[in-house]
Amino acid sequence: MTPKKPLVAIIDWAKSPLGDPESAAERAVIGDAAEVRRFLCGSDADFTEEICGADALIVWHNTPITATGIARLRNCRALIRNGVGFDSVDIAAARARGIAVCNVPDYGTEEVADHAIALALALCRQLFPLDAEAKQLGWVIRVEPRLRRLRGLTFGIVGLGRIGTAAALRAKALGFKVVFHDPYLPNGADKAVGVSRVRTLDELLAKADVLSLHCPLSDETRHLIAEREIALMKPGAFVVNTARGAVIKKTAILDALREGRIAGAGLDVVEDEPLKTSEEASAPNLIVTCHAAFCSVESKLEMRATSARIALAAVRGERLENVVNGVS
């Protein structure tokens, strides 16, 4: 009797699937080493018996994996987050069950950095209000007080990791003065990249004309930017977030926009996304881009191939890449 093949289950978000029904990119890597199947789920409450018996799970973002769901996994060696962030997975529960949680930290570095810069440029040059004026067959530059020359503006970065560094280099090339805050980097990181460093977030907030967030979401960074922090910023400052939505307190940023306490915000991610009401969506000087900063034809293929490579190692019992919860 032929032994049953291992199963790699791809958990795609039922509300807005991001993969393809054939899982072609994953099958190209995994080949005949395992069966590859895609499942549409809203959360781990939708896990079938087949999913619970899988040897590895590849999980797209927006599908939360809780301790309850993890407790149902019978054979899983690796739970692979198809992306950089892993805050949607209860990594402690997975560790307690001996399940490695892995991510793909480098696939979309260029795309997210490009997107952050694009949002910053759209805000500094007020592209969307000018576009709307022109399409109403008008030609009045009502947003002139918000139009800024890039050279000499301070581009403040929170988190100088892979993406933060890529954004810093792009901003520097455009003429911004780049300043960053990252308490976890060793001395000299600023010299290696050729940017300036401040030791406190408060100092960065006071300096920044554009604040760009590039830190992971954790208990430490949840609501890192809230009412107190926004009050420290310049009234003409712009906020850009391509990291995780809950790094910024949603009510705080929307209220600040309505009250004119900052000049604008470009948010690829929002807390409790997507936006829930027309009132939220109508906040003035707000750009929102559907958690799409990571996305390009090239980045998605790279991400999926990396996740599949980790899943293949899992079903073969080999060493795993990018483990974030300490399970070997």
Q: List the catalytic residue out of 77, 197, 214, 291.
A: 291
Q: For residue 7, which amino acid is it? A: L
From the CB of residue 51, how many other CB atoms can be counted at a distance below 10 Å? Answer: 21
Q: List the catalytic residue out of 244, 304, 309, 318.
A: 244
Query: Closest by alpha carbon to 266, among 224, 210, 218?
Result: 210
Q: For residue 119, which amino acid is it? A: L
Phi-psi region of 70 (alpha: psi -120 to 50; beta: other; left: phi over 0): alpha
Q: What are phi and psi of 15, to 5 degrees?
A: -70, -35
Q: Is 244 a catalytic residue?
A: yes
Q: List the catalytic residue out of 111, 229, 271, 273.
A: 273
Q: Compute the distance between CA of residue 46 and CA of residue 60 in angstroms, rounded to an integer.
A: 14
Residue with tokens 């967030």: 213
Give the length of the chain.
Answer: 328
Residue 58: strand pairing partners: 10, 80
Cα angle 253, 258, 263 (rounded to 5 degrees) comes to 70
DSSP secondary structure code for residue 1 in this structure? -
DSSP secondary structure code for residue 65 in this structure? B
| β-bridge pairing 210-213 and 78-81 | unpaired
Given 3-state DSSP classes, what are the helix, strand and coil percentages for the chain, each rounded to the nearest 5?
Answer: 35, 15, 45
Q: Compute the distance between CA of residue 180 and CA of residue 178 in angstroms, rounded to an integer.
A: 7
Q: Is 291 a catalytic residue?
A: yes
Residue 65: strand pairing partners: 89
| Residues tagged active-site | 244, 273, 291
